[in-house]
A = this chain, B = another copy of it.
Amino acid sequence: DDVIYFLFSFERILCYLLTLILTMLRTDILEWVAIESDSSNVLKRPDLHRMMETTAQKLRLMGGTVELVDIGEQELPNGQTLALPKVVTATFGTDPNKHTVCVYGHVDVQPAKLEDGWATDPYNLTDINGNLYGRGASDNKAPVLAWIHAVEAYQALSMELPVNVKFVIEGMEETGSNGLDAMILAQRDTFFSDVDYIIISDCGWLSRRPALTYGTRGNCYFFAEVEGPKQDLHSGVYGGTVIEPMTDLIVRLFLHPSDTLISPSGKILIPGIREAVAPLSDEEWKMYQDIQFDMDSYKNKIGVTQLMYSNKVDLLAHMWRYPTVSVHGIEGAFSDSGSKTVIPAKVTAKFSIRQVPNMDPAMVKKQVTDYLHSVFAKRKSPNKLKVTMVIGAKPWLADTQHPLYEAGKAAVKRVFDMDPDLIREGGTIPIARTFQDVTGKSIIMMPIGGFDDGLHSQNEKMSRYNYIEGTKLFIAYLNEVSQIKKTSV
C-alpha cells in the first residue's frame, strides 16, 4: 500500500509536469491533423505514406526501436494495385521481468471537406473553447499521441517505465485494416511474442463518465455497382428508351415488393442474416439497465426529436449488439447542387451491415451477394450488376472480469475518482478480433474520446480536458498493469 501511495503521489507531480509538457507538445497534434491521411481516397495515398513516416520519426526521436513494416499492396475495385501504408512498430523497454503492453492505434482518417459543413478547415486544428477541432483529432490521432506523451512524460522525468511498452500503428483502419492481419500473423512469434496485453484506445465514452469498452461491432461494407450505357445520357433525349441503372439500383435492389433488402424502418431482411444474432440474455439486459445514459442528451447531441427506440435498453442493444444497415450514398450519380438532367451510366450504391456475435462476414458476403444477384436476375435488365464486399470485419467481445479490466477500473478510479461505465461500441475496431484470434493475448479498450467528438462527422474534435486527463489515465494505467500478478496473465 505504501508503494501504491508513493506512486500515486508521484503521479500527481508527474501529471502536473505533464500539463506543462503538453503545452509544448501541442505542435504534434497540430502537425498530425494537418496531414490529410485519408485512407479511403487513393489520391491521398502520398499524404498517408507521409503520416506513417512522421509517426515513425516521432517514435525514433524518443529513442524507441522503430520499424516501418512493408505490408504490400491493395487491389482496387478496378483491378489496379496500390502500395499500402507501412505499419509502424516501436519498442520501449525489453525487461523480461516486466509485463509488456502493446498499444494499437491508427493515424489514417475518414474523408473530410470544408464544404461538408465544417465550421473550420478540417485539416487545420482549431482550438475553440477548449475543444481541438480537426479531422482525426479524436479518431485516432490524439489518443495515439496521448500514449506517446505518457511515455514521454516518464522520459522527461528520467523515470523508468513500469512496463515495457510497444506500439503498433497502422494507416488503413478506416477502410478495414487491409494488410494488418497478415502482418500480425507474420510477426506473431517475433514482435508479438513477448506481448502480454494489447491496449486499444480507438473509441469514446458514452457520457461524461469515463468508460471501458468490452465489445465492438464488425462491419461488412458493400459496393453494388450497376453499369448500363457506355456514358451518361440526356434524360430528355433518352428517357423512356433505356433501362436506367439508377432505377435498377434504387427501385430494384433496395426494395422490390417481393424481394426486400431493407425494411422501411431500416432493418435488414435478407434471409439468414438476423437469424445468426445471439439472443439478448437477462444478465445483459440488467447490465444495460444500469448504464449511465441520457436519452435526451443523446437526441440533443445528434439533433433528432425521435430515436429508433424509446427506451434505454432497446436503444443500447441496437447500438451495440444487433446488426444494422446504413446506405451511405451513391457514386456516379449526380450529387452536386443544381438540376442536371442526366441518366447516369454507372452507379454504385454503398451500404454496410454492422456485424455482431454470432454473424460471420464470409457468410454475410455470400448472403448479400447471392441475394442481390438473384433479385437482379429477375429484373432481366441488360445492365450489369457487380457486388463487392470491400470491408469484412468481425465483431469483438471481452471478459470484463479479466485482471486487465480490473486494472483499468483502478486507473479510472485513481485519475477521475469514479468507477467507469462498462460499455460496448457500435463501431468497428476490426483489429481487436484479429489480435484475439492470432496472438491469443488479452485485449482492453480504454477510450479517452468524448461522447460528443463527432467521429466520421463534420466538426470532429478532441477536448483539451480529455486529451490531458486521458494522458494521465494512460500513465496511471501503466502503473496498474505493472501490479498484475505475472501468474494471472
A residues sitting closer than 8 Å to B (CB atoms) are: 38, 40-42, 110-111, 116-117, 174-176, 204, 217, 219, 221, 223, 228-244, 246-247, 250-252, 254-257, 260, 262-266, 298, 302-309, 315, 318-319, 322-345, 350, 352, 354, 379, 382-383, 390-391, 425-428, 454-459
B242 near A250 with CB under 8 A, answer: no
Q: List 20 A-B contacts (CB under 8 A).
A: A40-B338, A116-B232, A117-B231, A217-B236, A219-B236, A221-B339, A230-B302, A231-B302, A235-B324, A236-B354, A237-B456, A239-B426, A240-B319, A246-B326, A254-B255, A328-B334, A329-B333, A333-B335, A340-B456, A341-B352
When distances are taken between beta carbons in the complex, the residues of chain B under 8 Å from A256 are 255, 264
Within the complex, the shortest CB–CB distance from A488 to chain B, in Å, comes to: 32
A426 near B240 with CB under 8 A, answer: yes
B459 near A231 with CB under 8 A, answer: yes
A250 near B304 with CB under 8 A, answer: no
A238 near B350 with CB under 8 A, answer: no
A232 near B337 with CB under 8 A, answer: no
Q: Contact partner of A328 among B333, B345, B428, B456, CB < 8 A?
A: B333
When distances are taken between beta carbons in the complex, the residues of chain B under 8 Å from A235 are 324, 326, 328, 352, 354, 456
Using known A-B contacts A42-B337, A257-B255, A457-B231, determine if residue A324 contacts B240 with beta carbons closer than 8 Å: yes
B262 near A247 with CB under 8 A, answer: yes
When distances are taken between beta carbons in the complex, the residues of chain B under 8 Å from A236 are 217, 219, 354, 425-428, 456
Q: Contact partner of A457 among B40, B233, B251, CB < 8 A?
A: B233
A246 near B329 with CB under 8 A, answer: yes
Stoichiometry, as copies per complex, reads 2
Complex Cα spacing A332 to B391, Å:
23
Using known A-B contacts A40-B338, A257-B255, determine if residue A343 contacts B331 with beta carbons closer than 8 Å: no
Complex Cα spacing A393 to B338, Å:
16
Additional A-B contact list (13), CB under 8 Å, known A239-B426, A250-B250: A40-B340, A204-B237, A221-B341, A232-B456, A234-B457, A237-B455, A239-B326, A240-B426, A254-B254, A255-B255, A257-B257, A329-B334, A342-B456
Within the complex, the shortest CB–CB distance from A206 to chain B, in Å, comes to: 10
Complex Cα spacing A57 to B124, Å:
45
A266 near B243 with CB under 8 A, answer: yes
Interface of chain A: mostly helix, strand, loop or mixed: loop
When distances are taken between beta carbons in the complex, the residues of chain B under 8 Å from A257 are 255, 257, 260
Within the complex, the shortest CB–CB distance from A222 to chain B, in Å, comes to: 9
**Nearest B residue to A254, CB-CB:** B250
Complex Cα spacing A263 to B248, Å:
10
**Nearest B residue to A318, CB-CB:** B240
When distances are taken between beta carbons in the complex, the residues of chain B under 8 Å from A391 are 339
When distances are taken between beta carbons in the complex, the residues of chain B under 8 Å from A232 are 116-117, 456-458
A427 near B234 with CB under 8 A, answer: yes
Within the complex, the shortest CB–CB distance from A312 to chain B, in Å, comes to: 11
Within the complex, the shortest CB–CB distance from A277 to chain B, in Å, comes to: 12
A251 near B228 with CB under 8 A, answer: no
When distances are taken between beta carbons in the complex, the residues of chain B under 8 Å from A354 are 235-236, 239-240
When distances are taken between beta carbons in the complex, the residues of chain B under 8 Å from A41 are 336-338
B40 near A264 with CB under 8 A, answer: no
When distances are taken between beta carbons in the complex, the residues of chain B under 8 Å from A302 are 229-231, 233, 238, 242
A390 near B339 with CB under 8 A, answer: yes
Using known A-B contacts A232-B458, A234-B456, determine if residue A330 contacts B330 with beta carbons closer than 8 Å: yes
Complex Cα spacing A339 to B219, Å:
12
Complex Cα spacing A459 to B229, Å:
14
When distances are taken between beta carbons in the complex, the residues of chain B under 8 Å from A263 are 251
Complex Cα spacing A342 to B139, Å:
14
A264 near B239 with CB under 8 A, answer: no
Complex Cα spacing A345 to B329, Å:
11
**Nearest B residue to A300, CB-CB:** B230
Using known A-B contacts A41-B337, A350-B334, determine if residue A247 contacts B233 with beta carbons closer than 8 Å: no
When distances are taken between beta carbons in the complex, the residues of chain B under 8 Å from A318 are 240-241
Q: Contact partner of A229 among B38, B304, B325, B334, CB < 8 A?
A: B304
Within the complex, the shortest CB–CB distance from A202 to chain B, in Å, comes to: 11
B116 near A455 with CB under 8 A, answer: no
When distances are taken between beta carbons in the complex, the residues of chain B under 8 Å from A241 are 298, 307-309, 315, 318-319, 426
Using known A-B contacts A335-B330, A338-B111, determine if residue A454 contacts B231 with beta carbons closer than 8 Å: yes
When distances are taken between beta carbons in the complex, the residues of chain B under 8 Å from A251 are 254-255, 262-264, 266
B315 near A343 with CB under 8 A, answer: no
